[in-house]
Amino acid sequence: MDVIDRAEQEPEPISVARCRALLGDDADMMSDEEILAVARHAETLAHVLIAVALQDARVH
């Protein structure tokens, strides 16, 4: 598996509106702060999954 070099620029975070759209009905009763917290947790989880995949080269 080839490892892609990390981009020199970090990607721009997605907007609160886009996060709300991705979360759907679940986001209706959430504040902007709660939406941003969910986005931060999702980004952290994505980084962990990538690190595990790169170590093991198999994702189950």
Which tens digits make up the pLDDT trace of 7-36?
566 777 789 999 999 999 999 999 999 999
Mean pLDDT of the chain: 83
23: Cβ–Cβ under 8 A, 6 or more apart, which residues? 30, 35, 38
Is residue 13 within 8 Å of residue 21, measured between CB atoms?
Answer: no
The model's pTM is: 0.67
Taking residues 28-51, what's their average pLDDT? 92
In a domain, 44, yes or no: yes
Q: What is the domain count for the chain?
A: 1
1: Cβ–Cβ under 8 A, 6 or more apart, which residues? 57
In a domain, 47, yes or no: yes
Q: Which two tokens stand for residue 2?
A: 């080839």
Domain residue limits at 34? 16-56
